[in-house]
Amino acid sequence: MVAGLKIVIVGSGPAGMYAAGAIVKKNPESVIDIVDKLATPYGLVRAGVAPDHQTTKNVTRAYDKVMENDNVRFVGNIGLGDDIPLDKLRDLYDVVIIATGTPKDRNLGIPGEDKDGVFGAQTFVYWYNGHPEYRDAVPNLDITTAVVIGNGNVALDAARILMRTEEEMAHSDLADHAATEIFNSPLQSVHVVGRRAPENAQFSSKELSEFGDLTSAKTYTDKTNLPEEFISEDKKETKVVNTNLDLLRSFEQIGPGIKGRSVHLDFLASPIEVMGDTSITGVRFERNEIVDGKAVGTGETYDIDCQLLVSCIGYEMGILEGLPVEKGIVKNDEGCIADGLYVVGWAKRGPSGTIGTNRIDSQNVVDRILGDFDTGGNPDKAGPAGLDQWCQDRNIRAVSFDDWKKINAAEIDRAGDQSPRRKFVRTRDMLSLLKEGS
């Protein structure tokens, strides 16, 4: 058994929580601080999972159990870089684990994407989920047409949330400010456009099936683009793709003269220009064909007039002081960045897989850490006491897990009978609540 280590995990999302859980199980003598820049834990589960997918959020019950261990602390409202530098964390702890995810949208790389009305998926999703840093990144939803780029679940989330009615979202935790904009919007149509063919789309069948249940909008696609059958050497892939193709066949055939609210699932097209002066007025697309398994432009173009564009083409790691970033992730060797410095989750491997994918990934990195520290840690490291002193000296108000329980209870109390919670969307309001209750 490795002697107890002093470990700090930066980020309390799924990857960080699974890492903490693995350490508790495999090296219960260690002490673990889970540091997060937000006053609320669980990262992507709170800020990324769609507000109408409450079942997915139940995973936090397992994370709560990890947090209840005596050797685990949540230390919220402390940002890496802004409040404490990475070098200081490395001085205080035997092990630093980076679990920040990939908090930067990939650029489309086309002219005009800097115009007003163009948003990356992270900005848009964090806005409607009530992330404090994106509370005021309000898109103008006094619009009639929106375009969503991408053929993954995030693209479907964005389109679905835009077209849900207030009644459909009654049991969600959609942030109040976003609900006001969405439900009062005159939006009539959303185009979800992917560059590859329908059989290459990365969305899940469950996500796709929800478009058949929208109460105020019909879903359309071009069924002439659908292959009769998809066959792969991977039986699981074959089943998923053919289920998706059957769902696409169940939607309406797109055609001229569509009236009423509508969602258009379009394939084989790539955006090449965002049109307009300072604000978006439309998007120009080039039609594609599949050549040797790749989407290749044909030279034929068409335009979609719109006033909102949400780009859902993936995420990457931004520049963070002290971390080597390469090809959108933190450069690492099976999770090891440098002596005593490790990375897990999307920051390690890129934005892929589901929430559960992070479990095995984090467990493997923990095994690597315990192997690297088989002789134990440095008894001279200050660990949690050193972090507390750092915060005290700089008047940083850290948020504990008990503090989070108070915030959580208040959000639930505010919600009423139907919604699971009514979120606080400003950190200052959360801290004021804690001050009042102290």
416 is a domain residue: no
Is the domain of 320 the same as that of 308? Answer: no
Within 36-184, strands assigned E span 72-75, 95-98, 104-105, 118-120, 145-149
Looking at the structure, do residues 81 and 132 belong to the same domain, yes or no? no
| Look-up of token digits 């456009």 | 193
Helix, strand, coil: what percent of the chain each, to 5?
35, 20, 45
Residues 69, 142 within the same domain: no
Question: Is 412 part of a structural domain of the chain?
Answer: no
SS3 189: strand
Which residue, among 108, 72, 35, has the nearest Cα to 312 in the 3D structure? 108
Q: Are both 227 and 365 inside the same structural domain?
A: no
3-state SS assignment for residue 282:
strand
Q: Do 125 and 215 belong to one domain?
A: yes
pLDDT tens per residue, the chain (438 residues)?
577 899 999 999 999 999 999 999 999 999 999 999 999 999 999 999 999 999 999 999 999 999 999 999 999 999 999 999 999 999 999 999 999 998 889 999 999 999 999 999 999 999 999 999 999 997 889 999 999 999 999 999 999 999 999 999 999 999 999 999 999 999 999 999 999 999 999 999 999 999 999 999 999 999 999 998 888 888 888 999 999 999 999 999 988 888 899 999 999 999 999 999 999 999 999 999 999 989 999 999 999 999 999 999 998 888 887 899 998 899 999 999 999 999 999 999 998 877 888 899 999 999 999 999 988 899 999 999 999 999 999 999 999 999 999 999 999 999 988 899 999 999 999 999 999 876
DSSP symbol at 223:
G
In angstroms, the CA 296 to CA 298 distance is: 7
**Is residue 429 in a domain?**
no
**Domain final residue, candidates 270, 297, 313:** 313
Structure tokens at 219: 């879903």
Q: Using CA atoms, how far apart are residues 128 and 215, in angstroms rounded to an integer?
A: 20
Verify that 226 and 152 share a domain, yes or no: yes
| Cα Rg of the chain, angstroms | 23
CATH of the domain at 387: 3.40.50.720
Q: Which residues of 280-295 are buried (b: 16+ CB within 10 A; e: fewer)?
A: bebbbbbebeeeeeeb
Backbone angles phi, psi at 172, to 5 degrees: -100, 175
Pair 161, 50: CB distance under 8 Å: yes
> Do residues 247 and 207 make contact, with C-beta atoms less than 8 angstroms apart?
no
Asked which of 399, 415, 433 is the last residue of a domain, the reply is 399
Residue 147 within any structural domain of the chain: yes
- Whether 407 is covered by a domain: the verdict is no
Same domain, 126 and 237: yes
Structure tokens at 402: 């008990």
Q: Is residue 287 part of a domain?
A: yes
The dihedral formed by the CA atoms of 171, 174, 175 and 180, expressed in degrees to the nearest 10: -90
What pLDDT does 1 receive?
58
* Total domains, the chain: 2
Q: Is residue 432 domain-resident?
A: no
Residues 91 and 230 in one domain: no
- Distance, in Å, from the CA atom of 52 to the CA atom of 46, rounded to the nearest integer, reads 12
CATH of the domain at 253: 3.50.50.60
Position 308 scores a pLDDT of 98
Q: Write down which residue in 293, 313, 333 finishes a domain.
A: 313
Q: SS3 of 150, please?
A: coil
CB within 8 Å of 388: residues ≥ 6 apart: 398
Tell whether 58 and 129 lie within a shared domain.
no
Pairing mode, strands 308-311 and 145-149 = parallel
Does the residue 134 lie in any domain?
Answer: yes
d(CA 160, CA 105): 20
Q: Which structural domain, as residue segments, surrounds residue 385?
A: 6-103+316-399
134 and 273 together in one domain: yes
132 and 226 housed in the same domain: yes
Same-domain check for residues 239 and 350: no
Phi, psi torsion values for 193, nearest 5 degrees: -120, 130
Helix, strand, or coil (residue 209): helix
